[in-house]
Amino acid sequence: MATNHESPDWVEQHFPAMDSHAHVALRGTADDMRWAQREIERLEYRWSAAYGCSDVARCNRAAGRSEVAVAGETLELLDAAIAWWRATDGWFDPTALRREDAPAPGCEGIVVDHATSSVFLPDGVGIDLGGIGKGAAADRVVAGLAARGVVAACVSLGGDVRAYGSGHDGAIVTSTSGRRHPVHCGRHHLVDPSTGRAADTGLAAVVVTDHSTERAEVLATAAFVAGRERGADLLARFGVDGWFIPLGAAA
């Protein structure tokens, strides 16, 4: 049931979520804010590989042995991740894990079975839906707040920001290595699928704007990993705006 907001005030909350910092601001009630925080936490427990009981962690443990029953929203997210792997020519790859120094196995052998609500990962394949999951969570929370009658909101999960209100609705995502200058033997969380190592493209960050946080997150990550020239071509292919910030240029 939609919440009645005759004279809504701004409510703001900061909290840790999804291996990052969450910041939610909305024109609504404290109940709306509690719902938003609970929804973000619920999706984190569903999609974060760091939680042993999450859908993602259970799939990773069963790789090569058995299919795993998961929630419908996990099937949808993994379907989207695999589709983006294909659409970006593998520059976005949910099987590129930070702990591996080997080429990512890719998504070809992953089975997403909607009839049985299950996922099967081939032996040696793991998935990480952390990045695309943050984008999807921001989109879902904004949609849920709008359905509750909240007239304006901004949801930020790490570098993924989705906002709406006063006739505006859009997303901006920053995909960053978290460092400003080149470092020798350095590591960060943006993995080159062809090597399994931290992507070394001379970039500090890529910023992408779009109507969807999930889509902007995927394309920002893919463009960062692909590098400036190939990344710019990739963004142009999907018709989104992006900015490439080289190492040493960030303040």
pLDDT tens digits, one per residue of 99-156? 667 899 999 999 999 999 999 999 999 999 999 999 999 999 999 999 999 999 999 9
pLDDT band at 179 (very low <50, low <70, confident <90, very high): very low
Residue 158 CA to residue 191 CA, distance in Å, equals 18
**Domains, the chain:** 50-128 (1.10.3980.10), 167-251 (3.10.520.10)
Neighbours of 45 (CB within 10 A): 13
Instruction: List all residues 6 or more positions away from 6 whose beta carbon is below 8 Å from its beta carbon.
Output: none
Q: With pLDDT > 70 as the criterion, what percentage of the chain qualifies?
A: 91
pLDDT of 69 above 50: yes
Whether 224 shows a pLDDT value over 50: the answer reads yes
Give mean pLDDT, residues 81-104.
91
